[in-house]
């Protein structure tokens, strides 16, 4: 699998990265053995970029990342996690999407300097790995003022000590990331979920040009738009109560272009973000070794240049 420079960080990453939210039990429980086998299969396929977070299964995702990765040569992969929530007994900021979280544990939102350092140290302990390469401030819009001052200052200090290599934001909102970049100096990476894919390209309005101008690398996640591109049955739950008709019509158009050029829709979905110069890599989720193998095959599918030209016209 191809590796690329991650912006100005000095890190090299595989073009395809594995996001570990699903392996923390997002929407449905995943057995530990299956989770570890999925990471192992990703490694066999050449994936060397792994992204987790404390809130993913309230520590479960990080624990499983550690089980699968801590025996690997540390300089051969790039590990990302997040700050902004502490996982603690009775943590009140729970999310209903986690299928099998540890009993009695929950997240507590806290972007203060001390909490950021504690969150980072707790992540290292859960994973049993000595360092994190990319540290994201997770969902900074939930307390933008504190996230952009105290949490950011903590990450600057960690990077200055060589404890992390890169400062990042993990966001679902492109405008929040753009504001953060305008109001601070020193962000290296943006993890942008769901805002630069075949169905939603709002990230290209302001954020991606700004990142290109500043030399900030963008990791594109949510390439299947919450699963809508993988399963477009009317009424299917993909973050919508019902998939809107205009989205279904857009997918029909995309399928027509894909058919004309003999390109699988999901191959186009995986590769589309990589056509932007600010995006060196994409992050995908997987629940099983079979799923990550399928996505890796879509990533490697040879898409003709004429397809992207035709896509620009629809």
Collapsing DSSP to helix, strand or coil, 39 comes out as helix
Contacts of 259 (CB under 8 A, 6+ apart): none
Is residue 252 one of the residues assigned to a domain? no
Is residue 255 one of the residues assigned to a domain? no
CATH number at residue 14: 3.20.20.100
Calpha distance 136→300 (Å, rounded)? 28
Calpha distance 246→240 (Å, rounded)? 13
Is residue 247 one of the residues assigned to a domain? no
Is residue 98 one of the residues assigned to a domain? yes
Q: What digits encode the pLDDT tens for the residues 149-158?
A: 999 999 999 9
Give the helix ranges, DSSP H, for 45-195.
60-69, 113-127, 144-146, 152-160, 174-183
Give the helix ranges, DSSP H, for the chain.
32-44, 60-69, 113-127, 144-146, 152-160, 174-183, 207-214, 245-260, 265-271, 289-300, 305-312
Q: What digits encode the pLDDT tens for the residues 24-44?
A: 999 999 999 999 999 999 999
Q: Which of 56, 58, 111, 196 is catalytic?
A: 56
Is residue 17 one of the residues assigned to a domain? yes
Calpha distance 138→173 (Å, rounded)? 11
Contacts of 94 (CB under 8 A, 6+ apart): 106, 107
Is residue 147 one of the residues assigned to a domain? yes
User: What pTM did the predictor assign?
Assistant: 0.96
Is residue 260 one of the residues assigned to a domain? no
Measured CA to CA in angstroms, residue 155 lies from 58, 126, 140, 147, 185 at distances of 22, 19, 13, 10, 12
Check if 56 is active-site.
yes
Instruction: Give 110: exposed, middle or buried? Use CB within 10 Å, 0-12, 13-18, 19+.
Output: buried
Is the distance from CB of 17 to CB of 282 less than 8 angstroms? Answer: yes
Calpha distance 210→112 (Å, rounded)? 27
Can you give the pLDDT at residue 237?
46
Domain containing 22 equals: 3-225+266-312
Low-confidence ranges of the chain (pLDDT < 70): 231-241
Pairing state between β 85-89 and 105-109:
antiparallel
Q: How many CB atoms lie within 10 A of CB 242?
A: 12
Q: Which of 51, 110, 133, 188 is catalytic?
A: 51
Can you give the pLDDT at residue 266?
96
Closest to 220 in 3D by CA, of 63, 44, 13, 10: 13
Can you give the pLDDT at residue 244?
86
Can you give the pLDDT at residue 142?
98
Q: Which of 82, 139, 188, 196 is catalytic?
A: 82
Can you give the pLDDT at residue 239?
58
Calpha distance 96→62 (Å, rounded)? 19
Residue 109 tokens read as 């939102």
Pairing state between β 16-19 and 49-51:
parallel
Calpha distance 35→43 (Å, rounded)? 13
Strand partners, 17: 283
Is residue 237 one of the residues assigned to a domain? no
Domain count along the chain: 1
Calpha distance 17→196 (Å, rounded)? 16
Can you give the pLDDT at residue 241?
66
């Amino acid at each position: 699998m191809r590796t690329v420079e991650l912006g100005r960080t000095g890190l090299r990453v595989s073009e395809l990265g594995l996001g570990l939210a699903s392996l923390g039990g997002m929407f449905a429980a995943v057995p530990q053995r299956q989770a570890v086998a999925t990471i192992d299969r990703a490694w066999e396929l050449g994936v060397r970029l792994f992204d987790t977070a404390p809130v993913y299964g309230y520590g479960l995702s990080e624990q499983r990342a550690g089980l699968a990765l801590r025996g690997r040569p540390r300089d051969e992969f790039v590990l990302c996690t997040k700050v902004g929530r502490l996982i603690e007994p009775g943590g009140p900021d729970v999310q209903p999407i986690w299928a099998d979280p540890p009993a009695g544990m929950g997240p507590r939102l806290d972007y203060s300097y001390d909490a950021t350092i504690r969150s980072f140290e707790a992540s290292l302990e859960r994973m049993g790995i000595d360092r994190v390469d990319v540290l994201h401030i997770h969902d900074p819009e939930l307390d933008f003022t504190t996230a952009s001052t105290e949490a950011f200052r903590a990450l600057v200090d960690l990077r200055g000590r060589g404890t992390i290599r890169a400062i990042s934001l993990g966001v679902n909102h492109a405008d929040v990331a753009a504001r953060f970049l305008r109001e601070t100096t020193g962000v290296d990476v943006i993890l942008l979920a769901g805002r630069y894919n075949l169905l939603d390209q709002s990230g290209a309005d302001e954020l991606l040009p700004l990142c290109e101008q500043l030399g900030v690398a963008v990791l594109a996640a949510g390439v299947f738009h919450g699963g809508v591109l993988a399963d477009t049955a009317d009424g299917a739950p993909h973050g919508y109560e019902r998939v809107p008709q205009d989205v279904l019509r857009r997918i029909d158009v995309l399928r027509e272009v894909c058919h004309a050029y003999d390109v699988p829709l999901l191959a186009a979905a995986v590769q589309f973000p990589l056509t932007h110069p600010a995006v060196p890599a994409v992050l995908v989720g997987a629940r099983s070794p079979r799923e990550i193998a399928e996505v890796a095959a879509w990533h490697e599918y040879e898409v003709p240049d004429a397809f992207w030209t035709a896509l620009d016209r629809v």
